[in-house]
């Protein structure tokens, strides 16, 4: 079949909306009609080249259909698919969950062995391609998904069935940014009642780290972002105080805690660089936790850290993917909180776009005009 998709042909290029060919789903695969796709900063990392290489430095991803946050309706299933059926409403998961590997069976689906190949060519199921350019050449899909398309063929392991009454936009949002941010505070930083939490970067992920910190009972939630619009929006998601930089947050956090400093600092900037870790370290109290949630350039190896202070003050530095939660647990849990009025999702969406407006959507993100933009399909 043919469908329209936003394709990236190389680093530094615009997204190209074009007609592509799509094969039917094979064993273990599902054809989904996309309803909503989130404009996450991670796709921008492909454009800039920060996430366009494999760990050996060779780029294998282009050309690629972007998008790894989204929702839609199942229209066809391949052989062996039993967990979803035609007509089901689904959210995607950029980390597949096989349910069989060591990580899945120990409750860590976000570390599923299938996820290690999400930046490599081909399908999760067999390594071959279902998506092709008009000339017949193979097309990759970001995170084995490709939500920047009217239709997508994905592995059933990459889908989570959701309540159809919840709405397609909320279902899309919890498939990446919300789960990642909320879980960074609740699961990875293990924020507790009365804590002081600093969130660095208050876009689509950081805003949800603010929500997670608030939900966990934090007393002080400090939002740090250079963009005035994002600082002003932060109160909506639970921030009690704001600062334009970590350096300017030092005195604020010291005053709030009588010099003890923050229990947890969550680094959720759109692009994390090595020089961000040292100021995050000094914002953190003795025995406190720093969580790195935002993406850094894939080949970056340098990090500024005072190792003496880090060791002697018994601090922790943690990474996280999908908020250190299991997609098939977190997605319905977060949607349940939304339905109960305990999680703000509608307020995250600053603007909706058509597929043809995708480049405008990403320009608005670069210009700090959006908390989250989403593509809404017909």
pLDDT in tens, 126-136: 999 999 999 99
CATH code reported for the domain at 182-320: 3.40.50.720
Better-scored residue on pLDDT, 13 or 51? 13
| Token code pair at residue 14 | 């615009």
pLDDT in tens, 334-350: 999 999 999 999 999 99
User: Residue 212, preceding bond cis, omega within 30 degrees?
Assistant: no
Sheet of strand 196-200, all strands in order from the earlier edge strand to the far edge? 241-243, 220-224, 196-200, 262-267, 284-292, 316-319
Strand, helix or coil for residue 189: coil
H/E run at residue 263: strand 262-267
| Token code pair at residue 192 | 């507790």
How many angstroms separate the CA atoms of 365 and 245, rounded?
19
Residues 139/7, Cβ–Cβ less than 8 Å: yes
How many angstroms separate the CA atoms of 325 and 332, rounded?
12
Determine the topology of domain 2-174+345-376 in CATH.
Quinone Oxidoreductase; Chain A, domain 1 (3.90.180)
Q: What is the longest distance spanned by two Cα atoms in the chain?
A: 65
Percent of the chain scoring above 90 in pLDDT: 92
307 Cβ partners below 8 Å, 6+ apart?
A: none
What residues does each domain of the chain span?
Answer: 2-174+345-376, 182-320
What are residue 222's DSSP bridge partners? 198, 241
Residues 25/130, Cβ–Cβ less than 8 Å: yes
Residues 23/153, Cβ–Cβ less than 8 Å: yes
Strand, helix or coil for residue 46: helix
Q: What confidence category does residue 299 fall into, taking pLDDT thresholds of 50, 70 and 90?
A: confident
Least confident of 113-117, 207-211, 269-273: 113-117
| Token code pair at residue 52 | 């366009």
Residues 179/329, Cβ–Cβ less than 8 Å: no
Strand, helix or coil for residue 62: coil
Q: What confidence category does residue 58 fall into, taking pLDDT thresholds of 50, 70 and 90?
A: low
* Helices marked H in 99-167: 102-105
* Helices marked H in 184-223: 206-215
**pLDDT value, residue 118:** 76
Q: Is 26 left (phi over 0), alpha (psi -120 to 50) or beta?
A: beta
pLDDT in tens, 88-138: 999 999 999 999 999 999 999 999 999 877 778 899 999 999 999 999 999
Entry pTM: 0.95
């Amino acid at each position: 079949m043919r469908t329209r998709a936003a394709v990236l042909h190389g680093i530094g290029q615009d997204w190209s909306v074009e007609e592509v060919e799509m094969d039917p789903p094979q064993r273990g695969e599902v054809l989904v009609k996309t309803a909503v796709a989130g404009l996450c900063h991670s796709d921008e990392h492909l454009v800039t080249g920060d996430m366009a290489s494999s760990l050996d430095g060779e780029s294998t991803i282009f050309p690629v259909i972007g998008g790894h946050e989204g929702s839609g309706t199942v229209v066809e299933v391949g052989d062996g698919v039993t967990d979803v059926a035609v007509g089901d409403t689904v959210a995607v998961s950029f980390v597949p969950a096989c349910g069989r590997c060591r990580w899945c069976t120990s409750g860590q689906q976000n570390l599923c062995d299938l996820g290690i190949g999400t930046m490599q060519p081909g399908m999760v199921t067999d390594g071959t391609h279902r998506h092709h350019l008009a000339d017949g050449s193979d097309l990759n899909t970001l995170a084995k998904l490709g939500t920047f398309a009217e239709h997508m063929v994905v592995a059933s392991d990459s889908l989570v069935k959701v309540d159809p009454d919840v709405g397609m936009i909320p279902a899309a949002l919890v498939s990446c940014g919300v789960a990642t941010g909320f879980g960074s505070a609740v699961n990875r930083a293990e924020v507790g009642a009365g804590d002081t939490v600093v969130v660095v970067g208050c876009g689509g992920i950081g805003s949800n780290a603010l929500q997670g910190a608030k939900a966990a009972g934090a007393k002080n939630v400090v939002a740090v972002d250079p963009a005035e619009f994002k600082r002003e929006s932060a109160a909506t998601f639970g921030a009690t105080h704001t600062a334009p930089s970590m350096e300017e947050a030092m005195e604020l956090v010291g005053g709030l805690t009588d010099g003890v400093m923050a229990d947890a600092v969550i680094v959720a900037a759109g692009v994390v660089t090595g020089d961000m870790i040292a100021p995050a370290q000094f914002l953190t109290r003795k025995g406190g936790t720093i969580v790195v949630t935002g993406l850094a350039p894939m080949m970056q190896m340098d990090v500024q850290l005072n190792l003496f202070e880090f060791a002697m003050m018994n601090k922790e530095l943690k990474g996280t993917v999908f908020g250190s939660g299991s997609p098939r647990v977190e997605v319905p849990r977060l949607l349940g909180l939304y339905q109960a009025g305990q999680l703000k999702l509608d307020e995250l969406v600053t603007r909706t776009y058509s597929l043809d407006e995708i480049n405008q959507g990403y320009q608005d993100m670069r210009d700090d005009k959006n908390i989250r933009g989403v593509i809404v399909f017909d």
